[in-house]
Structure 1
Amino acid sequence: MLTKEMVYTSLKEMPDEFELDEFIERLVFVQKIKKGLKQIGEGKVKSHEEVKKMVAAWRKL
């Protein structure tokens, strides 16, 4: 979830004129980064080795 402050900060960083889609894309990006950082903080991450094993298993399908 985004805060008003995050939305306002993102808006201030936009040029004086922009397409609404560009702003929405930026907000989605900021939200995904925030979510990823939260997941890292909660230990909800996979190591490089774990991911390599997962990909190898997928290739066998």
Structure 2
Amino acid sequence: MLTKDKVKELIDHMPETFSVDDLVERVFLLEKIESAQKEIENGEGIDWEDLKKEMDSWLK
């Protein structure tokens, strides 16, 4: 879950003018990154070798 401080920091690094779409996109990306990091910390991620095998199967 995001905190106000993280969202404020995100906004501080944006240009002086930006669209609401840009802000929503970046907040969404930040939330997805944090969610993925927690999954990895909990051992829920996919091993790189397993991912490569899965991707190879997509291309067949």
- TM-score, structure 2 normalization: 0.81
Point out the structure with max Rg over C-alpha.
1
How many residue pairs match? The answer is: 60
**Which runs of 5 or more structure 2 residues have no equivalent in the other structure?**
none
Match of 1:5 in 2: 5
The Cα of 1:53 is off from its aligned counterpart by: 4.1
**Which runs of 5 or more structure 1 residues have no equivalent in the other structure?**
none
Q: Give the share of equivalent positions with the same residue, in percent.
A: 35
Match of 2:24 in 1: 24
- TM-score, structure 1 normalization: 0.80
Residue 42 of structure 1 aligns with an amino acid whose one-letter code is: N
Once superposed, which parts of structure 1, at least 4 consecutive aligned residues long, lie more than 6 Å away?
none
User: What is the distance in 1 between the residues matched to 2:31 and 2:17?
Assistant: 22
Q: 1:3-44: CA deviations, max 9, x gaps?
A: 000110011011111101001100011111101110110000
